[in-house]
């Protein structure tokens, strides 16, 4: 998000709170921007490590309590240069980075903070990574302290003065040296005493690499599986990749490497295993979304690329609909998207990235073109935050009746002035396993106003929960379900098409079953599960006609029907007429 102004300051604070509450290690960047007043920022106190950069910008609060932040790795840098940027904060007085002892990669940029004290008294050279060269070039635009600050001529020391040859230490003696796998200091000499790891953290022990998947057997001169193998996830060694990350040969990734394809297997307990497998020959063609394949670098769906999604059931990437999606551009000969164009998404069942909708045709009352969408995996997030965003639309209902799983980010439903049916949606059950319901939903139509105008869930919807009007938009049913529609009862004893009940689902009997008035017509979907046959019965199976001249086990079968409609084998001396 960087310095982008949020659409709602209230939502922006809530977004930060949901993202960082309970976090110790940030897998990415920490961006604290556009905060005003006196918000409760205590949720930042638990952060110990940031793997990307830290940006503090455009805030008017007095303090940012990153008091336990020890290390900024700089895996990604702000403006390609800075691991720590503190910019244009009108109210901030102290950085409160008292635990920060290491910036592994990238520089420091502090500018435009008129009330900030002590920025030049911190020994930033000491904080910058030991391996960084030209450290004096890493300190850019370090502003002077505010004029009213009490000036202390003693430089603030961030590291203990170590014995010569020690990279890090906990004291001045030779015995106080840290292990060479430590970063940011230590509490003892072992690689399990580190405050942070220079390379990888394997269950609290810092190592140069994670345990390998295969080991070399010197006796047999062969590679054998390592029973203690682990996969790389950021800087952590894990036995299993987190949900929604793909398991490759040795690491957890969001995208399969070239020459590999995504494979999802479901275990008997219902858990999914998502992994990358090498293709045999050329990998099969897939549908790419924004940010992937031929749509790398494309920011929105428009008339020039919507054709790529025709017939897609799964999109590898994301979808975003922005105001420019529905505007023509004569300079590039681009026409505007029309409601009819969006019908290509009727077949879509899964998105691996995000779905963000900030503009939509005004004559469309819902998002019904996504009625078959079941899963949004959130491996990529809109602005690094949202897996599902629905904002500033004129729709009356969401219409996402098949959606069953979202994960990986926040859900935003905001500023949709006509939108009803959302207050009772069970977002907590849609989020994977024990994830908190990270939902920001506000400034939509008032639920009481919706009720007065009849915009409420159908009585057949269980717990009054639905995606829109009518029995076909229920999240689940009070009684039975026929196809995608909730019904009071199945057509077991009456009705044109007779049914049986299979775990509260109405399933039609086989067409060869005769409807039996006032009684069950079948016990299952097969032609051998009819109570009576509509035409003929061949053994236990109802058939449209008795077999005549049918090849079966190297013999030709000839049968005729008797008076009761049963198929009887012809005598051996019958002739064909």
The pLDDT assigned to 171 comes to 87
The pLDDT assigned to 269 comes to 77
The pLDDT assigned to 139 comes to 59
Does 9-140 match 510-569 in CATH topology?
Answer: no
Distances from the Cα of 319 to the Cαs of 306, 307, 382, in angstroms?
10, 13, 9
Q: Mean pLDDT in each 10-residue stretch from start to end of the chain (577 residues)?
A: 72 90 92 92 95 95 93 93 92 88 89 82 74 51 64 50 84 90 91 93 96 92 94 94 90 92 84 88 92 94 96 96 93 92 97 97 95 95 93 96 91 95 88 68 94 95 95 96 95 93 95 94 96 95 91 82 92 62
> Domain 9-140: which topology?
24 nucleotide stem-loop, u2 snrnp hairpin iv. U2 a'; Chain A (3.80.20)
Which tokens belong to 59? 């805030």
Judge contact between 464 and 424, C-beta under 8 A: yes
Which tokens belong to 113? 């903070």
Strand order in the sheet with 505-508: 485-487, 480-482, 505-508, 499-502
The pLDDT assigned to 57 comes to 95
Long-range CB contacts for residues 17-23, cutoff 8 Å, separation at least 24 = 17/43, 18/410, 18/436, 18/438, 18/440, 19/385, 19/410, 20/44, 20/47, 22/46, 23/47
Instruction: Tell me how far apart the alpha carbons of residues 307 and 109 are, in angstroms, rounded to a whole number.
Output: 45
The reply to whether CATH 2.40.30.10 applies to domain 174-278 is no
Strand order in the sheet with 272-278: 252-253, 246-247, 272-278, 260-266
The pLDDT assigned to 154 comes to 43
Helix (H, G, I), strand (E, B) or coil at 71: strand
CATH of domain 287-454: 3.80.20.20
Q: What is the pTM of this model?
A: 0.86
What does the domain layout of the chain look like in residue ranges?
Answer: 9-140, 174-278, 287-454, 510-569
Judge contact between 42 and 22, C-beta under 8 A: no
The pLDDT assigned to 146 comes to 65
First to last CA, the chain: 83
CATH of domain 510-569: 2.10.220.10
């Amino acid at each position: 998000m960087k310095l982008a102004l949020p659409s709602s300051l209230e939502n922006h604070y809530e977004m930060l709170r949901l993202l960082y509450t309970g976090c110790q290690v940030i897998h990415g960047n920490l961006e604290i921007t556009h905060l005003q007043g006196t918000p409760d920022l205590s949720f930042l106190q638990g952060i110990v490590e940031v793997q990307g950069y830290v940006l503090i910008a455009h805030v008017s609060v007095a303090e940012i309590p990153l008091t336990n932040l020890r290390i900024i790795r700089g895996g990604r840098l702000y403006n390609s240069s800075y691991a720590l940027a503190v910019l244009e904060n009108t109210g901030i007085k102290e950085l409160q980075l008292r635990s920060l002892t290491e910036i592994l990669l990238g520089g420091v940029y502090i500018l435009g903070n008129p009330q900030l004290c002590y920025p030049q008294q911190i020994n930033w050279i000491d904080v910058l990574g030991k391996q960084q060269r030209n450290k004096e070039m890493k300190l850019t635009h370090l502003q002077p302290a505010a004029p009213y600050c009490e000036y202390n001529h003693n430089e603030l020391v961030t590291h203990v003065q170590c014995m010569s040859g020690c990279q890090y230490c906990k004291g001045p003696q030779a015995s106080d040296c840290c292990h060479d796998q430590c970063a940011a200091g230590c509490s003892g000499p072992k690689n399990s005493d580190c405050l942070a790891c220079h390379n990888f953290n394997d269950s609290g022990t810092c190592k140069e690499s994670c345990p390998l998947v295969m080991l070399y057997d010197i006796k047999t001169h062969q590679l054998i599986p390592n029973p203690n193998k682990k996969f790389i996830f950021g800087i952590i060694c894990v036995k299993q990749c987190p949900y929604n990350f793909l398991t490759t040969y040795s690491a957890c990734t969001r995208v399969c490497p070239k020459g590999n394809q995504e494979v999802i297997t479901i275990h008997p307990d219902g858990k999914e295993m998502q992994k990358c497998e090498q293709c045999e020959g050329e990998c099969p063609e897939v549908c790419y979304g924004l940010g992937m394949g031929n749509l790398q670098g494309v920011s929105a769906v428009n008339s020039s690329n919507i054709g790529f999604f025709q017939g897609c059931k799964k999109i590898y990437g994301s979808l975003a609909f922005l105001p420019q999606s529905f505007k023509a551009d004569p300079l590039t000969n681009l026409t505007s998207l029309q409601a009819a164009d969006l019908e290509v998404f009727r077949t879509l069942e899964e998105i691996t990235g995000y779905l963000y909708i900030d503009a939509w045709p005004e004559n469309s009352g819902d998002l019904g073109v996504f009625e078959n969408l079941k899963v949004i995996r959130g491996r990529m997030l809109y602005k690094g935050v949202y897996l599902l965003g629905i904002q500033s639309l004129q729709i009356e209902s969401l219409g996402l009746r098949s959606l069953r799983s979202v994960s990986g980010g926040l859900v935003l439903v905001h500023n949709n002035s006509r939108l009803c049916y959302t207050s009772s949606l069970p977002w907590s059950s849609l989020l994977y396993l024990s994830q908190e319901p990270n939902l920001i939903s506000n400034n939509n139509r008032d639920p009481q106003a919706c009720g007065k105008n009849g915009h409420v869930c159908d009585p057949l919807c269980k717990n009054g929960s639905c995606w829109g009007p009518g029995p076909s938009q229920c999240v689940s049913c009070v009684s039975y379900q026929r196809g995608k529609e909730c019904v009071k009862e199945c057509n077991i004893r009456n009705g044109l098409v007779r049914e049986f009940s299979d775990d509260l689902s109405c399933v039609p009997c086989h067409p060869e079953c005769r409807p039996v008035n006032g009684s069950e017509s079948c016990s299952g979907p097969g032609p051998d599960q009819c109570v009576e046959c509509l035409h003929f019965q061949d053994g236990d199976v109802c058939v449209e006609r008795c077999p005549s001249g049918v090849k079966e086990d190297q013999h030709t079968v000839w049968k005729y029907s008797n008076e009761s409609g049963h198929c009887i084998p012809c005598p051996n001396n019958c002739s064909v007429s």
